[in-house]
Amino acid sequence: MMTENKKNQELKIRKIKRDIERSCDNAKKYFWLFVVFFVAGLIVRNVMHDFFSAGIDSWKTDPELNNSIYMWNVLMYAIPYTLYALAAGFLVTFFSVPNVRINIRKYRDIPAEMSYAPGEQIKGGQE
């Protein structure tokens, strides 16, 4: 019986290690997604600002293009900030994923009928 318990413990330990490694691999993916979206935001911002600066003179001379100026000005800030927000979300996920999974693993095996207050369980056992 002791060897069975030992094997079960070894299997549990291997499973927990595998889950932690998988969680860390997922966290690395989130970090690289953060990098991709942040760099994309920087590139889009610079390209749109350059395009706006190059076209502003011709847009100002033609009154029909005034709406294009306003729309481009809004998009010039909205699109990069959207990419930055996505990047920030992936960065937060990068930092929280391993911790959340490890904490869930710790408390998964608690039986449902176990009381949350340790003192109540002791009192019930002594009566």
Q: How open is the CA angle 77-81-84, to the nearest 5 degrees?
A: 150
Residue 108 has pLDDT above 50, yes or no: yes
42-92 pLDDT per residue, tens: 999 999 888 888 877 777 777 777 777 788 888 889 999 999 999 999 998
Residues 6+ away with beta carbon under 8 Å from 124:
115
pTM (2 d.p.)? 0.61
Residue 18 has pLDDT above 60, yes or no: yes
**Using CA atoms, how far apart are residues 51 and 72, in angstroms rounded to an integer?**
10
